[in-house]
Structure 1
Amino acid sequence: MFESTHIPARTGAGFDLRAGDRIKVISPHGHQVADFFAFNAAEPAEYLSARHTLVSSTRHLYPRQGQIFLTALRTPIMKFVADGAREQHEMLLAACDPARYSLLGVSGHHASCGENLQTAMAQRGVVITEIPQPLNLFSSTRADEQDNVITHPNASQPGDYAVFEALMDCLVVVSACPFDVETQFPVNVGGPHPIDVEIERAEK
């Protein structure tokens, strides 16, 4: 039995997972990044850390099926159990935030992954003052042979998915990335688009 959630474009949603629960993130339209964050439910100051995962886990620059993600305390928090997106994921780009849109010339409010994270966590009574590096699902950003970070047009396809298993009780936030303002960064081609999430609860 799955618990399904539809995340409208530009918004985010939070999920409470127990150890053993699985979360499936789906791109129904394709060409859309989903920012993925995870926090220790018992101590939200401990979060999934891209840097610690890179150094202490499999040392893959781009997340792969079977990879274990670690917190900043080097504790396993999440396992990547199924990749239905041909490794179109990365941990290179920071979450978009109000300051980024301001620097790009946007006047007034613009939705952002950073604010989506803060809103979802605030609904659980947790104040987030520093935005962790997200796991960017369905992203075509890559480092080239000269170590330049290049954002290629988003190549994810309709129905692409990624499945993770919680290795501890955790709070997960998924943001349907709102980025849409600069053509040299084709993060969400033709979008932003929504994201779907399915939760499979572990047997008690």
Structure 2
Amino acid sequence: MRYRPISPALLVSELTERITSITGRRRIAVAVDGAAGATNTTELADALVDPLRIAGHAVLRISANDFLRPASLRFERGKEDPDSRYSDWLDLGALRREVLDPLAEDGSGLVLPSLWDPVRDRATRAERVELPEGGVVLLDGEFLFGAGLAFDLSVHLWLSPGALRRRVPDAWALPAYARYEQEVDPSALSDVVIRVDDPKHPARYEP
């Protein structure tokens, strides 16, 4: 794979331009995917908010971490089970129903910004937010691709295997990331792939 070095500021600028160029959609869903704690998915999604608002888009930031299943389901096979981390932690049905379906052409535009507080392990009881036409949902998280979630722009933050081993905070989860690479190949599914072995010096994949 060939990568082009790019500054974080230029990356945000290029992604903003890419998002604002999307046409034919009443509302836009953007996903920033990468290994939790090892990639800067949250920082990148946050950095896109102001430029998009300046460009005239209403923006709603959502974290997949607020759509995890209850602890009783996530940890049914223990707190450090990589297969559960990969397939059972994220409530894909809730993300689809509460966030992505409302963005569809015939959707209501009423988006639930959060569902479950994983720290307190209870519902957040958040109220739905009406996203106007032209609005953008910026969703960050891990294992977002390959499960049938519909995004208008998919961004994957990729780490080489060595960098992933060095930087992932939960070493027990490494087999989950290996499964994701082997079974989904998120780089192949993504519209934009960014190598972030050095988060201060990212590089954008050039096909």
Tell me if TM exceeds 0.5: no
Q: RCO greater where, 1 or 2, for CA within 8 Å and sep 6 or more? A: 1
Report the structure, 1 or 2, having the larger helix content.
2
Report the structure, 1 or 2, having the larger strand content.
1
**Structure with greater Cα Rg:** 2
State the TM-score, normalized to the length of structure 2: 0.28
